[in-house]
Amino acid sequence: KGKKTLFQHLVFLEGSVFTVAVASSDQHSPITAHSGSHKATDHGSHNNTGKAFPVLDLNYENVRVPFEISLWVLLASLMKLGFHLVPHLSNIVPESCLLIVVGLLVGGIIRGTGETVPPVLDSKLFFYILLPPIILDAGYFLPIRPFMENLGTILIFAVVGTLWNAFFVGGLLYGVCQIGTESSSILSRIGLLQCLLFGSIISAVDPVAVLAVFEEIHINELLHILVFGESLLNDAVTVVLYHLFEEFSGIGSVTLLKGFLGVISFFVVALGGVLVGVLYGILAAFTSRFTSHTRVIEPLFVFLYSYMAYLSAEIFHLSGIMALIACGAVMRPYVEANISHKSHTTIKYFLKMWSSVSETLIFIFLGVATVAGPHDWNWTFVTVTVILCLVARVIGVVGLTFIINKFRIVKLTTKDQFIIAYGGLRGAIAFSLGFLLNKEHFPEREIFLTAIITVIFFTVFVQGMTIKPLVELLAVKKKQEAKRSINEEIHTQFLDHLLTGIEDICGHYGHHHWKDKLNRFNKKYVKKCLIAGERSKEPQLIAFYHKMEMKQAIQLVESGGGIKMPSAVPSTVSMQNIQPRPSTKPAPERAIPQLSKNKEEEIRKILRTNLQRTRQRLRSYNRHTLVADPYEDGLSDLFLKKQKMFQIEKKMNTYLTVPAPPPDSPTMCRARLASDPQAYSIKPASNKVPMIQVDLASPQSPDSVNLLDEFGQANQQEEEEQGLMMKPPSRPREAKKPSEEDEAKDQQRLMRCLSDPGPSADEDEDGAFLP
Amino acid sequence: MYNYKHYCKNLHKYIHIVDVCFFTVSQEQIKNLYQRFQQLSGNHEKISRDDLERIPALNNNPIRKQIITAFFDKRNQHQNDVGSLDEIGFEQFLMVMSHFRPVNSTATEEEKVTVRKQKLRFLFNMHDTDNDGIITLDEYRTVVEELLSQSGAIETEVARSIADAAMLEVASTNVPHMAPDDFYEGITFEHFEQILKGIEMESRMSIRFLDMNTATMRCGKLSS
């Protein structure tokens, strides 16, 4: 019996997890008292040994709150694990649905044990703790280029579309309530303003739900950014409308002046939010400029400044979401140029982790809150709401697209419109906003809540589950798994300049002209302020090339050499196939540089073959897959690597290529990474692409891996020797006899070991700087 | 100020040009371009390189030389001629500009392919300065060097290695198996198309203001 009580007790406490975390009202104290008394009896019944000094004591009260919070988070994480263990479940049902079901179950269990289900989706908790990580994650990794290119479309959908939805739903709902029902029913007492408020709550597309569903269907980038961008930017509209109608319903009347003020307040809210975000973003970027000596707390600045931006915006009732997005998007290019690679990885992982957990918790809580109620089911109201929401969305999207297509170069097809309309999911934000409503002003709050929940369920379950097969059915263009090749990068830049030039010749100040101006302003003034040291001068093409080199080198180390790897395009092309044949080979002493040049080219070839390999990461916002970090292999892989290394060593010798590494080089690499952060940060002394120098196996050989300039002056005695230089420092640079001596030296060379290759050595969705 | 009479007299000819180029355009746009042309040429009939080089906004453009050359390149006039002109008239100007028209959304797949080829051909001609039909390594190196020329003191070695890497990539993608002694001459037009197939040229390489979809004429002729 004691066990059963304890179990009940645990479940019950689990249920009341956030009652203390949130500033809660008196209704929770009876529960606390109840639990207190409950525990006392428990305590008494167990403690029957009668010892004077309790050796083993049960004191749950002290740890109750953190314990419960951790239990919830643990539950969420275990659920996430579980879904992916079940083989086909995640393909059919999107995770969000499963999580809501879990929430329903948990809520049901809590209710089943006779306890009151706590209001877990309390608005404060939701808006201040659960929502910001998701939005920051979205904002920090927002692909700037497609977002900016489609900004007009996104804004129109977000602002005009949401307004249309709100008024359409609210207005028609009011009409239905008045006309469709008897005058004595509760519905007819709902005023127009209340209906409009309801409309504004329910009309906003929810970023959390969109993210959760869209990231599983891998749709093409344009559609993704349109729906997702809309869900982010409509927050400003929602905030304004909500406060507007809430205040009006309180007063009970509306004047034209107030309406006009409402319009003004929209601009204030939106632009003010963005401004706050930009300010904090610049502050963060500026701070990151000085963090070269305290690398460990770099990620903290990113998180803190962003959160402060959010909270500051909320102080003034500005749009916190827009502030957060602006902050993340603005700070990113500069912060990433300043911080170390490890910090970048940390930021990325933390953001993904927090947003993932938040999302899971939100959906679970949605389920729990559904069970909790309070509900007031009204068939008419609910069904009309659902239908109206769908209809409004479709009409809105179709109508707006018709107008937008007049201004777009890449038009939106019918299929696109369908997906955009179908992807308008509602989520927890709507519920929380409804929850915030004051009961005195809104006696019909429960009806609203029930309707909101129904709409959320409908969109998430029905639309969420069917969107994937529909995408397949309609053969909507999927996201291209394109490797960003260096040719594409060169030509993207080339095109940018070309189009800017043509625009200048035409005298037309278009899109490209302003973008070019912004870029030049950015390069000339902003980067100098916000980026430390020499990185501010690095042009994007070089940064990109540099990233690619590093990535290849990482891959090379990771796979233990390129020979055995199945490359996507197996190719025997190497540099010597491309280099025009030198006209003469004058003197025999040039034979040696010739040889080493071949070696270098072989090395390059190996590196280049990795260019063809498919990328390990999707270029999108998939929360579940992160780039395969080469350093996250466990020690168990080390042994495998060692074996590979030995095999490679044999092969390497026949190819005269990348020399065999010492057997423990990965360990040394890892040890190195763990310790000295400064020696390996990439700060090229000047505008040169850093190069990896490999040292001979000298007595301190493991310690002498460092980075040099690839084209450092000291190395340029002969012009053939370009590319990656693998020279031992002790070897004199006169001509020597080729073959055995060189081979011997080769074998002693260390494999390149990458330490701290600078921020974002792995790809990102975008270039390192503003496009 | 433009020579209105001259313009009207030749309007049908201008429309014919853009017909040949298989793009939709409106009279309004032709008029705008004509006005600009007159402005650039100082009300003369033809413009020379100097006229274009005088445009101040172009000074910041790293590839301005190539852009200006492209206007005077006979290959872009679609008359199977090679070489370069010293001066161009409005028709030739329009011909070059028409490469930057966005493709009509009602175009068929075939038309889109043609348009794409044309735009890529324009780009190819910009790179292939000696008109031998291939972009050699040196030409490509020049391209990259020019691109980076405005970014401060970039050493040529960096530009060269980037160009080398890019060339290697083209070779690897298009001719995967080469013996060590084979020599990859350069990027042919087919290879060029292949490596850039990830970029949607039809929409990327277009100037927005030319896309007033108040199309008044549209021809059905397929250009070469």
pLDDT one-digit tens code per residue, A681-725: 334 344 444 444 444 444 443 433 333 333 333 333 333 333 443
- Of residues B71, B178, B213, nearest to A572 (C-beta): B178
Task: Give chain A's largest Cα–Cα span.
Answer: 107
**For residue B78, is pLDDT > 70?**
yes
User: What domains does chain B contain, in order, with CATH numbers?
Assistant: 1-136+185-216 (1.10.238.10)
Mean pLDDT calculated for residue range A186-197: 79
Nearest C-alpha in A relative to B104: A409
Q: Do A574 and B168 touch (CB under 8 A)?
A: yes
A153-164 residue pLDDT tens: 999 999 999 999
Nearest to A587 by CA among A742, A718, A428, A408: A718
A600 versus A29: which is more confidently predicted?
A600
Q: What distance in Å separates residue B223's CA from the closest CA in chain A?
A: 22
B166 contact residues in A (CB cutoff 8 A):
485-487, 490
pLDDT at B24: 52
Angstrom distances, CA of residue A465 to CA of A88, A423, A428, B13: 14, 11, 18, 57
A242 versus A180: which is more confidently predicted?
A242
Q: What distance in Å separates residue A540's CA from the closest CA in chain B?
A: 9
Is A486 in CB contact (< 8 Å) with chain B? Answer: yes
Rg, Å, chain B Cα set: 19
pLDDT at B138: 85
Q: Do A490 and B205 touch (CB under 8 A)?
A: no
Interface of A with B in 327-356 (CB under 8 A): none
B102 contact residues in A (CB cutoff 8 A):
409
Interface of A with B in 682-721 (CB under 8 A): 687-689, 710-711
Buried b or exposed e, range A409-447, using 16+ CB within 10 angstroms: bbbbeeebbbbbbbbbbbbbbbbbbbbbbeeeebebbbb
Interface of B with A in 156-175 (CB under 8 A): 157-158, 160-162, 164-173, 175
A604 contact residues in B (CB cutoff 8 A):
168
Least confident interval from A131-145, A420-434, B127-141: B127-141
**Which residues touch A754 (CB under 8 Å, ≥6 apart)?**
A550, A553, A554, A557, A630, A669, A692, A761
Is A62 in CB contact (< 8 Å) with chain B? Answer: no
Interface of B with A in 187-206 (CB under 8 A): 195-196, 198-200, 203-206
**For residue A307, is pLDDT > 90?**
yes
The ipTM value here is 0.87
A505 contact residues in B (CB cutoff 8 A):
36, 40, 52, 55, 58, 67, 71
Q: Do B123 and A494 touch (CB under 8 A)?
A: yes
**For residue A750, is pLDDT > 80?**
no
- Of residues A490, A498, A575, nearest to B168 (C-beta): A575
Band the pLDDT of A469: cuts 50, 70, 90: confident
Q: Do B207 and A503 touch (CB under 8 A)?
A: yes
A99-124 residue pLDDT tens: 888 888 888 888 888 776 666 677 78
B61 contact residues in A (CB cutoff 8 A):
497, 500-501, 504
Mean pLDDT of chain B: 74
Q: What percent of chain A has pLDDT over 90?
A: 12
Nearest C-alpha in B relative to A723: B161
Q: What percent of chain A has pLDDT over 70?
A: 61
Asked if residue A486 lies in contact with residue A544, where contact means CB atoms within 8 angstroms, the answer is: yes
pLDDT at A176: 84
pTM of the model: 0.68
- Of residues A505, A507, A578, nearest to B171 (C-beta): A578
Is B5 in CB contact (< 8 Å) with chain A? Answer: no
Angstrom distances, CA of residue B48 to CA of A207, A298, A397, A662, B87: 55, 56, 49, 65, 5
Band the pLDDT of B223: cuts 50, 70, 90: very low
What is d(CA A568, CA A95) in angstroms, rounded to the nearest whole number?
32
**For residue A732, is pLDDT > 50?**
no
pLDDT at A416: 87
A493 contact residues in B (CB cutoff 8 A):
147
pLDDT at A666: 45
Nearest to A121 by CA among A72, A79, A60, A62: A72
Q: Which of B125, B132, B169, B170 to mutate to test the interface with A (most CBs of A within 10 A)?
A: B169
Q: Do A485 and B203 touch (CB under 8 A)?
A: no
Q: Do B172 and A573 touch (CB under 8 A)?
A: yes
Mean pLDDT of chain A: 71
